[in-house]
Structure 1
């Protein structure tokens, strides 16, 4: 396997995100193009300088290794996945060059423990998951706690991953210096016959991986480890700089790393949707100066809980509405409270667990994480901290002082309450980093699921101002426009006609001619199809002919479509009718034109109609219009059920909270107050439920009052007074109703005793669409530089597509289009309204727009590609069932007309490859009704 294929294989098997994959490609380029990096003996100052010069051409930000060995820094924003990247680096270097010895450094105990877990095969976040070789022979993990009992693994043929805590090494080095003796790692090991340090230093393929390297770049421990002289150093950090300490002029200044080869800052991560959107929250019209320090602290804690409880319900709603999959669990958010010191943390713990704080409802749901714990208490603290992502684990509030810095890898932190004095910049940098990771890997498009809330009543405006500074760590990248050279913008709008219309120079129904794009040529550039008619007169007749064909496709005779298919348009009798209608519709002036054309021997109407039909038949796929009509009465409604209210724990509120996104500036209101006081508590919920189109009060009154009653009964279990009940139901009635409505959808039923299949059209004319395009139209074989941005590009130059240009949502779709362009007779990506396929989603029936439709010699195909992990998702299966039903009905009609049957293919993304064939995909992934 070539080295490039190894890179692609590792990226694919580990499902690397684009920034991770780009980092791996850069490591590959460096090691492949600079052979000296692979030579353990090439380490003189002159040789290091030569390597730096060789790399500088490719990596302009690399000026110095800053060590006595080659060291490359990969700066990736928090939340993008540096630990997974370590696994990719190790997998690649082992597969490509046979390296077997790796030394991973952690900056502290928290990350050290996490790394050991992530490198263990039984971990859910195992960094080598998907690497086949390591499935049978996993790497041997040697730690700072057991290395003295381990010997060399050279006889076993596996690879070693040494994981050490630099803080412990630092303390050992400092202690050894005071006692004038060697640090522990340099002492003789009876198992090895030498010190472990000597053993490592003697390896000619040792790769040193430094996690969060900015934390210990100049520490005593790292200076000691420099003597290992590893073959290669790889640094990973989110902040590729250190604070200056070399004198009065440098203190407080940042000194950038000189060996950065990959820089993917937080601004890019937010823009690309890899991390949450941070938002700072305060009360409306809040004046912090009007409150004492203690009162302000209490207000921030209480408001943090309010935001936390509302977030909890919204996350549950999102899970029930769109993210639910077999075997998955909803996300349990938690709140992080940042304390001043351990004494303050203990006081906060006592306050939150007291009966005076929301009636003691958080007793047993809080953990204090700081250095004050030891022994069994520390073990229990770490156990609960590591389990905080589990939906069944009770912790909802974590109090910490200064232990949870880099490496605390959780996805369910949604609310942060900073109670430690800090300026706005420090507050941003130290707070948001812990909560940026997204539970679903990428942004969902639902604000509350994608948002991190920072409760900062006393720093609200300062944080807003700081986030707007040019050097803010969360500021979006700047948009820089080049001076106007008269060439104009490269961004353009393309009105896309079907290929048949573009060739004929006609318009589809409802579309408009693009100025200056006669016959669809200019707008498509080199992707423009060859035009059939050369004159405006001929194109005018072809336009009328296409209008007549669209009209005739909708006509019925004897309960069946008058024209069964586009192929029927080639019949002489049908073409004669089309010609007659065209002639009748021509205006007098155009009628004179027909006489002129005939007298000059140029194409009369019949010839133009014949050519128009031939182009249409050649460049389309017949999609029948299928309607399923109930014959008898349809019974529908909701079955009675017991609500799941276990995660609803709203707290009474006094004032509305307002939050502002630090990226977008968008403001969000939390828990807007009700203005109508209801006499019956259930009415707060019922009045919101009947706002849903599918909930009729007359038909469902008994059920919705019963469900509202269950909700009221639940809140009465922990709220003490009627005022509190009115407060909760008035402020959160809409959110509660939304959750109830989602649960109702799971119990919706519809009983159709008998249905009738009606084919209203034998074929439907293809619809036009519109794209925005940046730059030139790309050829189909050209992969985008950044696959995550493929939706920005337009592709063209097809020979078998029913449209001149197409857009894709993913590179998987582009690759599948390559396969169809090679194997299919015709293909295209349908737009909304092209198929009449609707699927059941609770009480709703949204339209389903498949990814592709294609025609082969034997079948017509509807093709959908999905991420392999989503194949069993509820909506995916509902769409598949609806499409398979459509294909069954379409096949019966098509066979009756002597046409081809239809198949529905549901293809996982990892089965789509350039060497795949349509026949093989159809044989393996076609679905039929069970």
Structure 2
């Protein structure tokens, strides 16, 4: 990568596919003539030499196509292209073409709105001082003098136009407005552009311009270079899919899924479903798919809500996209959804249609609903469309697609799926509910499964969901929040106060509750400043908190007049509030526990080459074997230039997780050169390349297996953490079926596999009033804790209660239980007996032991109790056991 491209990459935070595309542009910009009188044949040969997939420019000017999957970031890449060509080549005139009005408006905003998080030039110093001149189809006439002045002063000028409008005007038999004579300049603006000596054309979603009219207009523009960006480098003609011939880089949807830039698409069907039963009643089949899609949607909605709560993220409101056959079909589907029998009429005002037959106010209202469908205040949860969702409608909250009639066009099907692939938080979270797009496919299930087996499939076979109709619940899931006892007591007191009829009494009680809440609000901060909860009761800490409350009230115009009254209330309520807080908290030190860097690598050795006796294969076989890798095609006439054999093998080796190129490159090249020398002992250079290309994966695995015999790993030590004396008890966010009851914790649940879906209450010693359990073992263990007199308090920690990380800091450990007795605090994990000695369980145990050591060092130095870790096999958790027995027998 040259220096300019490298700076742009860093300033714009380009992703690897964007970075690779910019590298290719930089490479080609150095070898192309970049003049209007360039020899097209000679220019094409330059590109083909480096990128054999480019066999024809397909325009009357040099044009190269970058195919990037939806959601990877084509708009930012266009900004990088403009920046590079300006900074490195001095090009100042650009013409960016949009396929429709939606994309046109979006591009203008992304290239001009400096306050938008999507502004494409953020971080580029040249454009911070002098922003590019933005020229649109709406302002080029009345701003022409300013445009001329900008060009004379060497400013970057970016023209934005909409090809669909140009083509529409052409179809009416008249000249597009841009090509009409304009008296002010004595010519059309189009002709004015054609005379610019450095005009670069950038075509967004360029498959739209391959129609005859589009190609004619753009060929007349005669730019020095065309840059096409699209997710679908193909056009559909006469039922055939015709691939572009000028692609120099392709980053497919399959790769984007693999690399985590978009959601994982999954397909869903019912278990043992036979679509033939509904061949005479397609509308009944539609209703089944709709109902199942809505059930998945409801589950997804709750899981997204819980993820946002647990991770303190902005809430994502998911919606369902229903694909209808035609406008009549769309109306039938909406009637089904709005009927009282469809989920009790819940979705009557939460569904909309969008199709080309709509006009006037209805169309405008629906378009606005569509544009704002991500807004939590927008009630729409189901969108029914008939081929209306083209490029430019970039939403991140589409999670369920229900295709009720298959689209004929491959491109259209891919675009429909593509609408749902963008990630709401910009990257994968590791939570499957947040990272997955589900497509209902009851009647097309086998067809999609078969397609998933193909090498170029965008849907992976392992992402297939089977719905068992016996387990479908009619009730909708919802979020159930289990507050800590302290938070719940405040909530219940507030509800009690609201029922007091006497207004004066009610106001006094409200003030008392507000004062207690004010005192409690300081608790999260105090863990950093004191060594134990007991210090909250000391006069010094009490005085400090009261002074802070006084200062806050002094600075608030709302409370300034009542400072002394409030402080008096605080002084009276402080001791009782702190006593209640102390009685309902387990003193859990806040420790951020992370691993440092591990030391790993390979001891030096010589490669055993005796087993490497590959022979070259015929050219025809080689071509067939490498069809899936377009960068390594070998033709019959001539061999395309490749990387060196040693680099091809190195590229295979660095795919293995244990191999780090930066620290191990010396050994890697030593081993690979030993192998190449062995090959050369019985093969010529041409056959060595042939063998390496054809057998590279097997060669890579063979070398890797020898390397692993010499692998060493020194596990990472945990870094010494900063310790805070305590944290507040965090709430749980659970999924609960709306009409399912909350169970008393001693109730017997059958079948036991349904226990994880239930919520239990009735606990006396726990720090929350409701819990879920992952297994019968955990539920039984909670009963033991409740019945054991030696146990003072216990809790099931919420996800954010502990900050203990393992697996090289990639995973967070969540203990099953925390138990407090008179002489200690215990972190408890109950595990299936067969899993106790597995690597993952042992690694989590080690992380927990480090936490307990740091916690004990801190608490015992400050008069507190020591911490211990218990790892208990499931088969010993029986009702007659005591906690003391567990503490003695399973202490680590």
Same fold (TM over 0.5): yes
2:305 aligned residue (293, 304, 316): 316
The answer on 1:262 being equivalent to 2:249 is yes
Residues 274-313 of structure 1: CA deviation (Å, up to 9, x unaligned)? 1111111122232223332111112222221111111011
Give the aligned partner of residue 370 of structure 1.
355
In structure 1, the partner of 2:323 is 338
1:601-648 CA-partner distances (Å, limit 9, x unpaired): xxxxxxxxxxxxxxxxxxxxxxxxxxxxxxxxxxxxxxxxxxxxxxxx
Counterpart-to-counterpart distance in 2, 1:434 and 1:459: 20
**CA–CA separation in structure 2 for the residues paired with 1:846 and 1:460:** 42
Q: For residue 908 of structure 1, what is the aligned residue in structure 2?
A: none
Measured after TM superposition, the shift of residue 103 of structure 1 is 1.2
Equivalent position SS for 2:25: helix
Please say if 1:110 is aligned against 2:64: no
CA-CA distance at 1:463 after TM superposition:
1.4
Cα distance between partner residues in 2 of 1:151 and 1:78:
35
CA contact (8 A) 1:18 1:787 kept: no
Question: What does residue 190 of structure 1 align with?
Answer: 183
Residue 270 (structure 1) shift: 1.3
Q: Measure how far apart 1:22 and its partner are.
A: 0.6
Match of 2:802 among 833, 840, 845: 845
Distance in 1, matches of 2:160 and 2:85, equals: 17
Rate the CA distance shift 1:280–1:228 in 2: closer, same or farther, 3 A. Answer: same
Tell me the distance in 2 between the aligned counterparts of 1:14 and 1:85. Answer: 9
Specify whether residues 405 and 318 from structure 1 end up closer, same or farther in structure 2 by C-alpha distance, changes over 3 A only: same
Give 1:353 deviation, angstroms.
Answer: 3.9
- Counting matched residue pairs gives 560
Structure 1 residues 690-745: Cα deviation after superposition (integer angstroms, max 9, x where no partner): 9xxxx9xxx969969999xx9xxxxxxxxxxxxxxxxxxxxxxxxxxxxxxxxxxx
Name the structure 2 match of 1:159: 156
Is 1:753–2:541 an aligned residue pair?
no
Q: 3-state DSSP class of the match of 2:419? A: helix
User: Per-residue CA shift, 1:551-592, capped at 9, x if unaligned?
Assistant: xxxxxxxxxxxxxxxxxxxxxxxxxxxxxxxxxxxxxxxxxx
Q: Secondary structure at the match of 1:225?
A: helix
The 2-side partners of 1:196 and 1:670 are apart by 63
The answer to whether the Cα contact below 8 Å between 1:331 and 1:439 also exists between their aligned partners in 2 is: yes
Of the three residues 97, 107, 119, the one matched with 1:126 is 119
CA deviations 1:647-685 (Å, max 9, x no partner) are xxxxxxxxxxxxxxx34245465898499x9xxx9xx99
Task: Compute the displacement of 1:199 (Å).
Answer: 1.1
User: Does the CA-based 8 Å contact 1:338-1:399 persist in structure 2?
Assistant: yes
Query: Is the CA contact (8 Å cut-off) linking 2:599 and 2:714 kept in structure 1?
Result: no
SS in structure 2 at match of 1:371: coil
CA distance, structure 1, for counterparts of residue 142 and residue 332 of structure 2: 43
3-state secondary structure, aligned to 2:148: coil
Query: 1:144 offset after TM fit, Å?
Result: 2.9
Instruction: Output one character per residue of 1:333-374: Cα deviation in whole Å (capped at 9) or x when no partner.
Output: 111111222333344334434544333323443332222233
CA shift at 1:164, angstroms?
1.7
Deviation at 1:169, TM superposition (A): 1.1
Alignment correspondent of 1:170? 167
Deviations 1:770-812 (A, max 9, x none): 8999x99xxxxxxx989997966425769xxxxxxxxxxxxxx
1:29-57 deviation line (CA, Å, top 9, x unaligned):
1102x141x2x2433xxx21112212222
Q: What is the root-mean-square deviation of aligned Cα atoms in Å? A: 4.7
1:74 matched to 2:66? The reply is yes
Q: Distance in 1 between matches of 2:597 and 2:395?
A: 48
Q: How far did residue 471 of structure 1 move?
A: 4.3
Q: CA deviation at 1:73?
A: 0.4
C-alpha contact 2:533 2:587 (8 A) present in aligned 1: no
Q: Does 1:831 align with 2:816?
A: no
Measure, in 2, the Cα distance between the counterparts of 1:75 and 1:185.
29
Name the counterpart of 1:147.
Answer: 140
Instruction: Choose from 21, 29, 33 the match for 1:23.
Output: 21
Distance 1:365 1:135, change over 3 A: farther
Q: Which residue is 1:296 aligned to?
A: 285
Superposed CA offset, 1:881-928 (max 9, x none):
x99x989x99xx9xxxxxxxxxxxxxxxxxxxxxxxxxxxxxxxxxxx
2:226 aligned partner: 233
Candidates 267, 287, 290, aligned match of 2:274: 287
Q: CA deviation at 1:185?
A: 1.9
Q: Specify whether residues 753 and 100 from structure 1 end up closer, same or farther in structure 2 by C-alpha distance, changes over 3 A only.
A: same
Deviations 1:230-282 (A, max 9, x none): 01100011222223x4xxxxx43333222111111111111111111111112
Superposition TM-score, scaled by structure 1 size? 0.53
Is the contact made by 1:329 and 1:391 (CA closer than 8 Å) also made in structure 2?
Answer: no
Deviation at 1:834, TM superposition (A): 6.0
CA distance in 2, matches of 1:99, 1:74: 20
Match of 1:9, SS?
helix
Give the corresponding residue for 2:462: 664
Q: CA deviation at 1:71?
A: 0.3
Of 396, 419, 426 in structure 2, the residue corresponding to residue 411 of structure 1 is 396
- Asked if 2 retains the 8 angstrom alpha-carbon contact of 1:150 and 1:191, the reply is no
Match of 2:557 in 1: none
Query: Whole-Å Cα distance in 2 between the matches of residues 847 and 206 of structure 1?
Result: 56
Report what 2:51 is aligned to. Answer: 59
What stretches of structure 2 of length at least 5 have no aligned partner?
496-522, 536-585, 590-594, 608-649, 665-712, 731-796, 810-846, 862-892
Contact persistence 2:269–2:467 (CA under 8 A): no
Distance 1:772 1:308 in 2: 52
- Aligned pairs (5 A) from 1:87-98: 87-98=79-90
Partners of 2:216 and 2:412 in 1: CA distance: 31
The equivalences for 1:522-537 within 5 A come to none
Aligned to 1:445: 430
| CA drift at 1:129 | 2.7
Cα distance change, pair 205–226 in 1 and its aligned pair in 2 (3 A): same
Q: 1:171 to 1:91 in 2, by over 3 A?
A: same
> Following the alignment from structure 2 to structure 1, what is the Cα–Cα distance between the partners of residues 393 and 468?
28
How far apart are residue 753 of structure 1 and its match?
Answer: 2.5
Structure 1 contact 830–849 (Cα < 8 Å) conserved? no
Asked whether the equivalents of residues 297 and 419 of structure 1 are also in contact (C-alpha less than 8 Å), the reply is yes
Which residue does the alignment assign to 2:205? 212
In the TM superposition, what whole-angstrom CA distance separates every residue of 1:65-101 from its partner, at most 9, and x where no partner exists? 1111110100111221111111111122122223222
Q: Conserved in 1, the CA contact under 8 Å of 2:67 and 2:247?
A: yes
The TM-score with structure 2 as length reference comes to 0.55
Contact 2:134 / 2:158 at 8 angstroms: preserved in 1?
yes
Closer, same or farther: CA 8–788 of 1 in aligned 2, 3 Å: farther
Change (3 A) 1:829 1:836: farther
**Contact 1:87–1:128 (Cα < 8 Å) also in 2:** yes
> In the alignment, does 2:37 pair up with 1:42?
yes
2-structure distance, mates of 1:685, 1:119: 41
2:660 pairs with one of 791, 794, 797: 794
Measured in 2, the distance between the counterparts of 1:772 and 1:165 equals 61
Question: CA separation in 2, counterparts of 1:770 and 1:689?
Answer: 47
For residues 456 and 59 of structure 1, what CA distance do their matches in structure 2 show?
Answer: 39
- SS of the equivalent of 1:149 reads coil
Taking a change above 3 Å as real, the CA distance of residues 59 and 220 of structure 1, as seen in their structure-2 partners, is same
Alignment of 1:677-826 (within 5 A): 752-753=533-534, 793-794=659-660
Judge conservation of contact 2:65–2:247 (CA < 8 Å) in 1: yes
User: 2: distance between equivalents of 1:293 and 1:310?
Assistant: 26
Conservation of the 8 A alpha-carbon contact between 1:830 and 1:851: no
- Evaluate the alpha carbon distance shift between residue 423 and residue 383 of structure 1 in structure 2; reply closer, same or farther with a 3 A threshold: closer
Aligned to 1:540: none
**Does the 8 Å CA contact 1:208/1:232 hold for their aligned counterparts?**
yes
Match for residue 262 of structure 2?
275
